[in-house]
Structure 1
Amino acid sequence: MYPATRPDPAASMPLRFPASAVNGLAGTSFKPGHLAAIVAEGAQRGFFEVHAENYMGAGGPPHRALEAIRRDYQVSLHGVCMSIGGPAVLDPLHLARFRGLVERYQPALVSEHLAWSTHENSYFNDLLPLPYTAATLERVCDHIDEVQESIRRPLLLENPSTYLVFGESTMSEVDFIRSVARRTGCGLLLDINNVFVSAANQGFSALSYLSDFPLSHVGEIHLAGHARQTDDEGYPLLIDSHDGPVADAVWGLYERVVEQCGPIPTLIEWDSNIPRWPVLKAEAAAAQAILDRGSFVRELRRAAV
């Protein structure tokens, strides 16, 4: 495990990019098609998230675009293929490339999913769920320890969107996540849309889930859109699609979390049917307004004590 008290070797190195805090800021997924519009605006409030796997080549247009963004903004590095929950050992080449991106771009936040996506030599285009058992807990903790030791900093672990429940699970998802955070010292990425999708699909209360969630460990929040479908038996089914605006119900849950926890850095995910930059920027502005209001209310409460 990478203890929080261990000196960061990067601290003594000259920064290649500006360092700035993302506390209290809202950001968006970075899409290269938006680069010209973002640069034309000049530096603004906010930050951008990038998927690590899109930048694991040595150079080329992806890196030129990301370097242009990184000159004015902090970034959040979000992994999608580490397969933290998988039964196999972590791919050492993938982990080395991931570590290289952390060193190269010095992201403000680094995260991965509580999921698995590989089997032997196969990579799946899905973030697959896992049973919540003692054996799975041990494996996930070992993998997180390995990642944190490699990148020399804490990792944020994201709660999944789920569509089924494993019969062999012996603990709830929240209890599992709480145990992982306690044992590894990792932080958490709370995806509120994932909570809403899972709650709707499985018939539990999203508010109850959030009231039990270890919010004190949350270092970042994700918001995204979802799609409404029906399953083979005609029952409603929500899909974590990231292809539209954040739903009103998800905004409502987000406001409750901010009221309780304060202005946690928040990222708007929009990964398909990507709109023009002003549309995505407006979603981030809506999140920023909630963060700013939460900061103001907390300051008023402090002043009244």
Structure 2
Amino acid sequence: MSSIASFSGFGLGLRRPHYEHFLRGDVPVDFVEVISENFMVDGGSALRTLEDIRATMPVILHGVSMSIGSAHGLDCEYLARLEMLANRIDPLWVSDHVCWTRTSAHNSHDLLPLPYTAEALDVVCDNIDHAQETLGRPMLFENPSSYMVFPEDDMTEWEFISAMSLRSGCYLLLDINNIYVSAHNHGFSADDYIAGLPADRVRQVHLAGHTDGEIKIDTHDQPVCDGVWQLYTKARLLLGDVAVMIERDGDIPAISELLTELGRARTLVDPPAQHAAAVQW
């Protein structure tokens, strides 16, 4: 299995309200990310739009339904459709989540938590091997947000994800908001989480918002909060060249608001003047 080269850039999730901005070529970003399942079709206007945008900038395919933790294995039809899309788009890379979403008869359409056990690690790594062999490329996997733990857990989430990456050869998509949310919900140290990961396996960072409360909920419909910005700043001290993006899926604002957030992500790691022109709107 080949390796994935580092890529340093700042991007946004491509969402329908902003298609026209991207088609005009006036959005100053280095890449876009799309939800893979929205484009795993034979044709249509959405796929044509993605192909047009791909002609001008790199695209990342980010899945939500691979169900890498499914004990009965992966859906071969799903993998075939994903492979077809990847061959058509030639993405920067393909990613999904460290979770399970379905049984053999039912898809929950939710990112459900895994027990962090040696048995679950075997299942996940076998499934990643299957996916990577089918796609012919290494994948990235994202740490989930979670709201429960299993009494059977015999390792931390970051120990599980580290072992998964090193054993399977996959890479990591580090969602800073998910770490922040889960650290609050479960009472662990977000700093320990980040320090415990193999930084050289991280290729991408997500920044998003959540709904506050006694239990924080990862809703992607709010601006990035100060606590997540602070955690991102510390994480970047440990990471090399990575792709950083703002992820917004609900209550989607004007493109200018997202670019302002992306400008903050740039200036927290680079001198402000260096990217001033890129974030003007």
Q: TM-score range by the shorter chain?
A: over 0.9
Aligned length, in residue pairs: 273
Answering whether residue 87 of structure 2 is matched by residue 109 of structure 1, we say no
Counterpart AA for 2:185? N
Give ranges in structure 1 of 5+ residues lacking alignment.
9-20, 230-235, 297-305
1:47 & 1:37 partners in 2: Cα distance? 14
Map 1:28-43 onto structure 2 (within 5 A): 28-42=12-26
| 8 Å Cα contact 1:77/1:107 also seen in 2 | yes
Counterpart AA for 1:250? V
How far 1:292 sits from its partner (Å)? Answer: 3.0
Aligned to 1:242: 220
Answering whether residue 127 of structure 2 is matched by residue 143 of structure 1, we say yes
Aligned to 1:173: 157
Percent sequence identity is 42
Does the residue aligned with 1:66 lie in a helix, a strand or coil?
helix
Q: Which has the larger radius of gyration?
A: 1
| 8 Å Cα contact 1:262/1:291 also seen in 2 | no
Residues 109 and 293 of structure 1, relative CA distance in 2, 3 Å threshold: farther
Aligned to 1:251: 229
Map 1:215-230 onto structure 2 (within 5 A): 215-229=199-213
Q: Which of 35, 38, 41 is matched with 1:51 structurally?
A: 35
1:244 & 1:22 partners in 2: Cα distance? 29
Counterpart AA for 1:98? L
How far 1:125 sits from its partner (Å)? Answer: 2.2
2:145 & 2:27 partners in 1: Cα distance? 33
Answering whether residue 261 of structure 2 is matched by residue 277 of structure 1, we say no
How far 1:43 sits from its partner (Å)? Answer: 6.3
Aligned to 2:192: 208
Does the residue aligned with 2:235 lie in a helix, a strand or coil?
helix
Answering whether residue 68 of structure 2 is matched by residue 70 of structure 1, we say no
TM-score, normalised with respect to structure 2: 0.92
- Show structure 1 runs of 4+ deviating over 6 A: none
Does the residue aligned with 1:279 lie in a helix, a strand or coil?
helix
Q: Which of 137, 140, 159 is matched with 1:153 structurally?
A: 137
Give ranges in structure 2 of 5+ residues lacking alignment.
275-281
| 8 Å Cα contact 1:22/1:46 also seen in 2 | no
2:60 & 2:152 partners in 1: Cα distance? 35
How far 1:261 sits from its partner (Å)? Answer: 1.7
Counterpart AA for 1:195? I
How far 1:104 sits from its partner (Å)? Answer: 0.7
Show CA shifts across 1:15-63 (max 9, x none). xxxxxx9822111110122111233353633211001100111111110
